[in-house]
Amino acid sequence: MWSPDRRSALAAIAGVALLGACGFTPLHAPGGAGARLLGQVRVADPRTPDDHAFLRRMTERLGPDQAARYDLAYALRIAVVPQAITPDAVTTRYSLNGTAAYALTDRTTGQAVAQGEVSSFASHSTVGTVIATTAAEQDARDRLAVMLADQVVTRLYAALPAR
């Protein structure tokens, strides 16, 4: 007798088999895009504290540039927007709307391999002491830079076909 759980398991097995038949290659498999980028990307030098957080996350995801084959240029833009305003016109919450424009170029040919722009947001509260508010803003900026870096890495992986 067939149960719904058994059907689900068989459908999952069939799905995996079909992915293998269509040329699907796991990202971090030998020859996958993940392996082709690991240690191969030199990220542009940071100019701001936000850039430092972005670079730190890019290095965590792609590894240090041991023998860089690609250069990654990027530009972060972060806008601070008031979100929660009291009737007394006091802002109690801010949203940080960020974008990261990026371009990955091959160092040997100078050709653009991937380029684009990603966006995300983070927010923080201003209720509390000056120290707490400053710490909350810096944390939100760091979180935003990490989110943007993760999106850029995902786009880079998608742009490079597996060999």
Q: What structural domains does the chain harbor?
A: 30-159 (3.30.160.150)
Per-residue pLDDT tens over the stretch 119-137:
999 999 999 899 999 999 9
The residues that bridge with 121 in the sheet, in sequence order, are 97
pTM for this one?
0.80
Residue 35 CB burial class (10 angstroms; 0-12, 13-18, ≥19) = middle
**Helix, strand or coil, per DSSP, at residue 151:** helix
Please tell me the distance from the alpha carbon of residue 130 to that of residue 134, in angstroms, as a whole number.
Answer: 6
Q: How far is CA 43 from the centre of its chain?
A: 13
User: Helices in the chain by DSSP H: which ranges?
Assistant: 4-21, 33-37, 49-62, 130-159
Per-residue pLDDT tens over the stretch 68-109:
999 999 999 999 999 998 999 899 999 999 999 999 999 999
